[in-house]
Amino acid sequence: KRHHANAEQPLTGWFGHKRPFDFIDDYEPAPDIRRMLVGTTSVLAASALDSALDAFKGVDMGLVRKKSQAMTDLFIALTREKLMEYGVGLATSENPAKRGSHVSLTCENGYAVVQALIEQGVIGDFRAPNFMRFGFTPLYLGFEDVYRAVEIMADIFETGVWKETRFSEKGAVT
């Protein structure tokens, strides 16, 4: 540990950044062993991924995209129906041709809400100042997952559980 502050990593990457989610122009290494992380997948991990992708050979990507669009359309519709009363806004285009497989929502207390969702098994991501991002992977998520995510988020707002201090404590990963 005594050498961490002076150790230099020749291959710098955002995983080793002191504040990776601040998205600043200059690289600042983390003050501890995390400075040695680069953000690039290792050869061994990439090899395992290559083999895992064989499971999707022959899958029609056009059908995958259609399911993706249907899932994000459903999420947007359910958001309008069940979440806007809590101050949630839509930041993503409603035009499926202008969005990928994720939807971004706005919420004043988005960080805490995302942390409460993660505790309930709904994985989202937060980006400052107020964006909650949700990815829809049609290869292994279904429409019931979309309904479940919105129901859980509505419950988090209704019960106010997101207000618990533990959900506001900032971590390295959002």
pLDDT at residue 174, as a whole number: 65
Beta-carbon-side half-sphere exposure of residue 125 (alpha carbons within 13 Å): 10
CB 12 within 8 A of CB 27: yes
- φ and ψ at residue 104, rounded to 5 degrees: -110, 130
Rounded CA Rg of the chain: 19
* Tens-digit pLDDT profile for residues 141-172: 999 999 999 999 999 999 999 999 999 998 76
- Tell me which fold the domain 61-167 belongs to: Aspartate Aminotransferase, domain 1 (3.90.1150)
Residue 38 has pLDDT above 70, yes or no: yes
> Shortest CA distance to 132 belongs to which of 81, 161, 92?
92
Convert the pLDDT of each residue in 45-80 to its tens digit: 888 888 888 888 899 999 999 999 999 999 999 999
Global model pTM greater than 0.85: no
> For the chain, which residues make up each domain, given as ranges?
4-56, 61-167
